[in-house]
Structure 1
Amino acid sequence: MATLQIDACSRWFGNVVAVNDVTMTVGPGITGLLGPNGAGKSTLIHMLGGFLPPSAGTVTLDGATIWKNQEVYRTIGIVTEREATYDFLTGKQFVRASAELHGLADPGAAAHRALETVAMTDAQDRKVGEYSKGMKQRVKMASALVHDPAVLLLDEPFNGMDPRQRLHLIELLRDMGAEGRTVLFSSHILEEVELLAHQIEVVVSGRHAASGDYREIRRLMIDRPHRYTITSSDNRSLASALVADGSTAGVSIDGDVLRVQASEFLRFAALLPRVARDADVRLLQVTPSDESLESVFSYLVESSSRASSRTSSRTPARATASPATRERS
């Protein structure tokens, strides 16, 4: 069993703050690191893997500082988002080189086991440069697993994988989590995290936005206000009907379109067709206008900040803000 701890950790590059005062604990099982592109996920993983020092704060593994601690590499396996492979080597040579760097007693046997684990033995004698992106991801995974690590750090591991490869990796990670290994993987796609993770850590703009069970965070995302652009056969009649029904938080007419803010997504989705039917209005187009991940995660930050302002506790509640978020202006 291994536990990673990030304590009041920041990392900046010149004037750019990539990670801002993040505190989180990653224990055994599968944890999803969720956030939009550019949120700071890769920087966090690089600090957890010992590739980057924190500019402030500490990153530890079972109490031992990770930066400049060679011993932690016996425990940690890491797969970065960048391909970072030697294309002139075969898959078997690439994984064996990793086994040799770890000083394993039988690097050939270890490499074979790792390639077998990721279903790459059929392609092990081909050069890595001939692999597809999905195959490169798998051979990188084999390299990370060759020394049988207790901690596995994965940065966007599903990038470039076809559906069959994705299913295989999902099952592999589930097995590792069930064995008690500490698995942290990053993604900007909620559905990937939902399939695997029992615990989710959300980062937005370098800050820790939310922490908790994925079901609770999913509920926050679904229940947030949603904005729609609607065109219909009679926008004014539909607007009047929606206001009278009380199923929206705001309705306005903007030229030929109706702009609607729904306070409850599921309720509005069920009521809109009925309201339109009762008003004898034909719906022509209903388009979400704020469905970007950035919009979703920004709402999470705002929701978490409001929740934290109502409590005097310094300990983040499940699916609520971290201390960093509470300082957000």
Structure 2
Amino acid sequence: MTEIRLRDVSRWYGNVVAVNGVTMTIGPGVTGLLGPNGAGKSTLIHMMGGFLSPSSGTVELDDEPIWQNPRVYTRLGLVPERESAYDFLTGRQFILAMAKLHRLAEPGRAADRAIAQVEMEQAADRAIGTYSKGMKQRIKMASALVHDPAVLLLDEPFNGMDPRQRLQLMDLIRRMAAEGRTILFSSHILEEVERLAGHIEVIVAGRHAASGDFREIRRLMTDRPHRFRVRSGDDRALAAAIIADGSATAVELTPDGLAVQAADFGRFTWLLPRLARDAGVRLWEVVPADESLESVFSYLVAR
């Protein structure tokens, strides 16, 4: 199992601290790296990719230090946020050059495979300078895949992509995760992270703010009431039963059902079916209304 481990990692530039005492482990599957602009996400990815040294702490790939260790690059692939290709080269020439830099036994075949993975065959013989932003993102992705790495570090990989390109890349990332690869990607679009990542790491002001499944994190936020949308066979009767029980802090009757606010997630979800049964009301739908990544992220950033 391939893992990247950061232990008490900090990075500073003069008097400016970009990353401060971060400890985390990135394992197989898709991990989303979240944080406001300037939080330190790119700095972290560059340290994981071996392009920056930590000012203190350690960054390791399977117990090997990443900084100044060329051996790890056989297992690492990086898609940086900034443009990283020569515009005068064709896409195929660029990927072939990357395959040769990795000293692959069959560089041409490896280049063709990587280009096909990102569905860039039709544009492969055009100069990169003629590509759209989304196409440049895909050819950068091909350069990271050409040596078939076990670990992928993707810094804002969906920037500039149209909806079709975004869906294609999401499908590719899901397939690679299903193969057991370790994939970390940063994004400022919460929907992308919510759809892709089974695990999130949140960075706020250079510090590690949270780690885990965002739904689990939401349920641990005990100082913030939970909201539910409830539909039933008799919303008025159910609302009366909830109010009489005192298990909710607020109940509102809306055209879409009941909007319920409860302080204790576990107790309310256990109690609601029993209240409905005792009131003779059939439950049709119970949906957490604020268990989104946006809700968690807004809470953590505002703390």
TM-score for both structures, normalised by structure 1? 0.69
CA RMSD of aligned residues (A): 2.4
Rounded Cα–Cα distance in structure 1 between residues aligned with 2:84 and 2:224: 39
Matches of 2:142 and 2:2, distance apart in 1: 20
Q: Is the 8 A contact 1:197 1:214 kept in 2?
A: no
Tell me the distance in 2 between the aligned counterparts of 1:6 and 1:92. 35
Whether the aligned pair in 2 keeps the contact of 1:7 and 1:57 (CA below 8 Å) is yes
Q: Distance in 1 between matches of 2:129 and 2:224?
A: 45
Gaps of 5+ in 1: 226-245, 249-265, 269-292, 304-329
Residue identity over aligned pairs, in percent, reads 70
- The offset of 1:215, in angstroms, is 1.9
Residue in 2 aligned with 1:70?
70
Q: CA contact under 8 A between 1:204 and 1:297: conserved in structure 2?
A: no
Distance 1:85 1:18 in 2: 27
**Match runs of 1:1-329 below 5 Å:** 1-217=1-217, 224=224, 267=260, 297=297, 299-300=299-300
Match of 2:276 in 1: none
Q: Tell me how far 1:302 sits from its aligned partner.
A: 6.8
| Structure 2: runs of 5 or more not aligned | 226-248, 252-258, 262-293
3-state SS of paired residue (1:31): strand
Task: State the SS of the aligned residue for 1:36.
Answer: coil
Taking structure 2 as the reference length, the TM-score comes to 0.75
Shift of 1:19: 0.3
Alignment match, 1:325: none
Q: 1:131 to 1:125 in 2, by over 3 A?
A: same
Q: Deviations over 1:61-114 (max 9, x none)?
A: 000000000000000000000012100000000111100100001111110000
3-state secondary structure, aligned to 1:25: strand
TM-superposed deviation, 1:198: 0.7
| 8 A contact 2:200–2:213 mirrored in 1 | yes
* Alpha-carbon distance between aligned partners in 1 of 2:16 and 2:224, rounded to the nearest angstrom: 30
Q: CA deviation at 1:214?
A: 2.5
Give the Cα separation in 1 of the matches to 2:121 and 2:201. Answer: 34
Distance across 1 between alignment mates of 2:169 and 2:216: 25
Provide the aligned length of Structure 1 versus Structure 2: 243
What is the rounded CA distance, in whole Å, between the counterparts of 1:182 and 1:115 in structure 2? 21
Q: Distance in 1 between matches of 2:219 and 2:191?
A: 13
User: Per-residue deviation at 1:176?
Assistant: 0.6
